[in-house]
Amino acid sequence: MNNNYNIYQKIDEICARLEGFRAFNPKLAKLSYSGGRDSHLLLHILRNVLKLNNEQFPAIYAKTYNEFAEIKHRIEEQDITVVDSGRRVFEVFEEVGVPLWSKDCSVNIYYASKNEKKYTKRWAKKSKSQWNFTDNYFWCKKNNIICSDKCCKLLKENILNKNKARVVGLREEEGGRRSEGQKEYDFCVRNSKVLFKPIFDVTNSELMEIEKALRIEPLNIYNYLDRTGCVMCGFGTKKQIAKKINYLRWYEPSRAAFYLKYFDKYLRYRKII
């Protein structure tokens, strides 16, 4: 009983944060919707608890044509605004490079391709991490692969920023590099880079309890994957990528085959296959 009370209290707090942000920043009260668990929780609260439609509190989704089928179907059912960058993933890969390993690793490799001596010298001073920047950089160089993190920016971030979608579904445990810096629920957005994160203090276990309380049916995909994102993405730990491949093999076999073929050298280099 006490646990349920805490969960409902948390839902009330999230509602108050969303209403407060809308009151103080009406022009920026737009949800950046991804179809994932965090942003879907916020959309459900906006539409079914606060009873705010897409005109009163818009939700913006940047279409990539690279969604998992389950995520795509969920998006199509929502009261949201779908925007299209006009780009396709392979066009973006050819233009700016392929996302591999992690955002941090890809950024470092991209800039090292512009100034190899500077970056390899810098990496030599760093303590060991799970991403071996030096070896990964020279592997890309040997295989004539351009690696960068710019894919997400062109397909999603730039268009969401243009539409001023400042409200994001982001748990602290899922934040990664996106969560650096300010972590509070700032009702006064000072510049375009500040995002409002109304569920930043929601833990993984609390998220599941809130979903139960609000009768949100989790997608089947989350029984297999912790994160979804775009299908044709090379970001992730070895375990995360292996799980994605296995999920695709079972539920979207043709896409699994294409992923394995496209990233064959990379997957073998990382000993994922």
Nearest CA to 197 among 212, 175, 216, 164? 175
**What Å distances lie between residue 64 and 90, 131, 185, 206, 251, CA to CA?**
11, 27, 29, 30, 20
pLDDT at residue 186 greater than cutoff 80: no
Q: Any alpha helices (H) in 25-102, and if so which ranges?
A: 37-44, 69-76, 89-96
pLDDT tens profile 102-155: 999 999 999 999 999 999 888 877 666 667 899 999 999 999 999 999 998 899
pLDDT tens profile 197-229: 999 989 999 999 999 999 998 899 999 998 888
Residue 221's Cβ-side half-sphere holds a number of Cα atoms within 13 Å equal to: 24
